[in-house]
Structure 1
Amino acid sequence: MPNMTSITEFILLGLTDDPELQVAIFFFLLITHLLSVSGNMAIIMLTLSNIHLKTPRYFFLRNFSFLEISFTTVCIPRFLINIATGDTTISYNAFCNWLVISGWLAGFLIIFPPVIMGLQLDFCDSNTIDHFICDSSPMLLIAYTDTQFLELLAFLLAVFTLTVTLALVFLSYTLILKTILKIPSAQQRKKAFSTCSSYMIVVSISYGSCIFTYVKTSAKEGVALSKGVAVLNTSIAPTLNPFIYTLRNQRVKQALREFTKKILSLSKQ
């Protein structure tokens, strides 16, 4: 292949070229990121410090919060730096390191095999990525070598992972709904249904965005739509999770009040 050069950095095009819209996006993502990290950190601290929250349920919620912090921190701060500085480049190594770490935490099965194969691709046509994060799909668009097998592999892994996990979620909520319907009190049933509907909002956002992002046989399908959906997956959902999954729980709110009182008493000493 003539005139082949080694790619050492990539250029991220982001979401828009409009300066005014970039400012709005910057503050929106900054606020949602801070809310997401602080909310999930609060959940981790509360479930670790309160003896009444030492149950399997809160153990898994604590693990979930840690994953959310890791996932959103990999994507959003880098994009905010890009907007603030105007520097839209990211080094080849920094893409690889952060993606492997986030892929290991967020989903070994769906991320790791395509990443290992993707690192072997040749990028000699362009180093400009039409996205605001270095995901596998937008990178395939600028690869020189044939990516059909890699795209098919990513598609099959995404379908398998989403199908299995969604089936487990569906089974869980089916059992929950059956239990709710057996509750004799109409007021308690209404409260339980309200809680479940809130959970389903986040589940729908998470799975809907993942389906749009990963369940497609070609990397060229819906690039603009994928960028918008990625904002939901990396910013909106992690922000809603602490409020919907845990902070509406009465035991967690009581633990939060006790923790706040303890902090205030220490500050007065």
Structure 2
Amino acid sequence: MEIRNGTSVQEFTLEGLPAVQHLGKVLFLLHLLAYLASVTGNSLTITITWADRRLHTPMYFFLSTFSFCECGFITTIIPKLLTIFLSGRQTISFAACFTQAFASLFLGATTFFLMGVMSLDRYLAICKPLYYPTIMNTRTCILLVTACFSLGFLLMVIPVIKLSQLSFCGPNVIPHFFCDLGPLARLSCSESRSIETLFYNVVFFLTFTSFFMTVIAYSNIVVTILRLPSAKERKKAFSTCSSHLIVLSLMYGSCVFIYVKPKRKSRLDTNQEAALVNTVVTPLLNPVIYTLRNKQVHQALKDALSKIAYLIYKYKFLQVQLPFDGDI
């Protein structure tokens, strides 16, 4: 990031969670366990999806990409939060702060676009089953994922670069546990209202676009499901979509609470609670919601564990059967 001559601040101080800072060791342990569980769960989703040919479908391709983004998103935020809890080191360099801000916003935006694409995928699978294999081919899936990453990058890189070029010469304490553009803009000595407006407009566009796609897709899905003649078919169709809807509710709820709600004095404190849901709770629940409710993933996981157990048994058996050096 380019630093202008007017900038005297070389590092920022993350306030963290001052209300519970005295519980640093306990919070460190809880957040560490949540982080490890989240990374393990999402990594397991990616591994199982790519290892089992039965899961080589558009839905699981998008899900594995979503899990990859979630791993990257929490890795940009949680390790620094763990450092604050454990050692109390709250400082972060100017460049590292803006890098963290961009990485978290870029991956977060990409995740929202992916949720919209996953809604479109479910719409085509349920409402247009005959055309689904033709439309959602490998090329289309790759193009959609590439578009999600490209849009996420282009939408977030401009506000971050513009903000990094402003002057920071006064207070350097960020009232948050990670570098977010809103708190950063309020620390600038320059006029930052235009950048704040640009950023919130970008977030609104991102949230509205993804939400609009989801509403349109699921409105058609509900109508199609209600027309199914069999109660068993209706239950199966609703079960397929319920996991996606739970994750959508968590993500949209926390994001709207942080960025779209009206401003007020207590906004920053409330944002920290909503941000914790978005950065800790949601990434932890995503693999649980998607895997525990999915029979195909259950079966793929059982088969993978059976293969691993067989390989371990075979390896031990061969070791027992190996001749001694004196017998050769």
Measure, in 1, the Cα distance between the counterparts of 2:61 and 2:94: 36
Please list every run of at least 4 consecutive aligned residues from structure 1 whose deviation after the TM superposition is greater than 4 angstroms: 216-221
Q: Which moved more, 1:171-180 or 1:235-244?
A: 171-180
1:174 pairs with 213, 219, 233, which one?
219
Matches within 5 A, 1:241-252: 241-252=286-297
Letter in 2 for 1:35: A
Deviates more, 1:173-182 or 1:6-15: 173-182
Q: Which letter maps to 1:237?
A: T
**Is residue 138–residue 219 contact of structure 1 (8 Å, CA) maintained in 2?**
no
1:126 is paired with a residue of what secondary structure?
coil
Q: Which moved more, 1:198-207 or 1:81-90?
A: 198-207
Aligned residue in 2 for 1:56: 58
Number of equivalent positions: 266
Deviation at 1:121, TM superposition (A): 1.7
Superposed counterparts of 1:82-93, under 5 Å: 82-93=84-95
- Determine the C-alpha separation between the residues in 2 that align with 1:43 and 1:245: 9
Match in the other structure for 1:143: 188
How far is 1:210 from its partner? Answer: 1.1
Is 1:164 the equivalent of 2:209?
yes
Change (3 A) 1:97 1:151: closer
Aligned-partner Cα distance in 2 for 1:172–1:34: 34
Larger mean Cα displacement after TM superposition, 22-31 or 42-51: 22-31
Is the partner of 1:11 in helix, strand or coil?
A: strand
TM-score (ref. length: structure 1): 0.90
Equivalences for 1:1-269 in 2 at 5 Å?
A: 6-107=8-109, 108=152, 109-190=154-235, 192-194=237-239, 196-215=241-260, 222-268=267-313, 269=315
Q: CA deviation at 1:77?
A: 1.4
CA deviation after TM superposition for structure 1 residue 205, in Å: 1.4
Query: CA deviation digits over 1:128-160, x for unaligned, max 9?
Result: 111000011111121111111011111211111
Q: CA deviation at 1:182?
A: 2.8
**Structure 1 Cα separation of the partners of residues 265 and 196 of structure 2:** 10
TM-score by length of 2: 0.75
What do the CA deviations read for 1:88-129 (whole angstroms, capped 9, x no partner)? 111112223333334443322542221011101211111111
- State whether residues 213 and 226 of structure 1, in contact with CA within 8 Å, keep that contact through their aligned partners in structure 2: yes
Structure exhibiting the larger radius of gyration computed from Cα positions: 2
Q: 1:195 offset after TM fit, Å?
A: 5.2
**CA distance in 2 between partners of 1:231 and 1:214 (Å):** 14
Write the distance in 1 (CA, Å) between the matches of 2:161 and 2:179. Answer: 14
Aligned residue type for 1:140: A
Distance of aligned partners of 1:146 and 1:45 in 2 relative to their CA distance in 1, 3 Å threshold: same
Residues 242 and 142 of structure 1: is their aligned pair in 2 closer, same or farther, counting only changes over 3 Å? same
Q: Which moved more, 1:94-103 or 1:32-41?
A: 94-103
Separation in 2, partners of 1:5, 1:67? 33
Change (3 A) 1:17 1:218: closer
Of all paired residues, the percent bearing the same amino acid is: 41
Shift of 1:249: 1.2
- Seen in structure 2, the aligned counterparts of structure 1 residues 99 and 151 have a Cα distance that, compared at 3 Å, is closer
Structure 1 pair 199/234, CA: closer, same or farther in 2 (3 Å)? same
User: Which amino acid letter does the alignment assign opposite residue 79 of structure 1?
Assistant: L
Deviations along 1:227-246, one digit per CA (max 9) or x if unpaired, are 11100111111111112124
2: CA distance between counterparts of 1:10 and 1:44?
A: 35
Residues 209 and 229 in structure 1, CA contact (< 8 A), matched pair in contact too: yes
- 1:216 is displaced (CA, Å) by 5.4
Structure 2 counterpart of 1:200, one-letter code: L
Once the two structures are TM-superposed, the CA of residue 25 in structure 1 deviates from its matched residue by: 3.0
Is the contact made by 1:44 and 1:62 (CA closer than 8 Å) also made in structure 2? yes
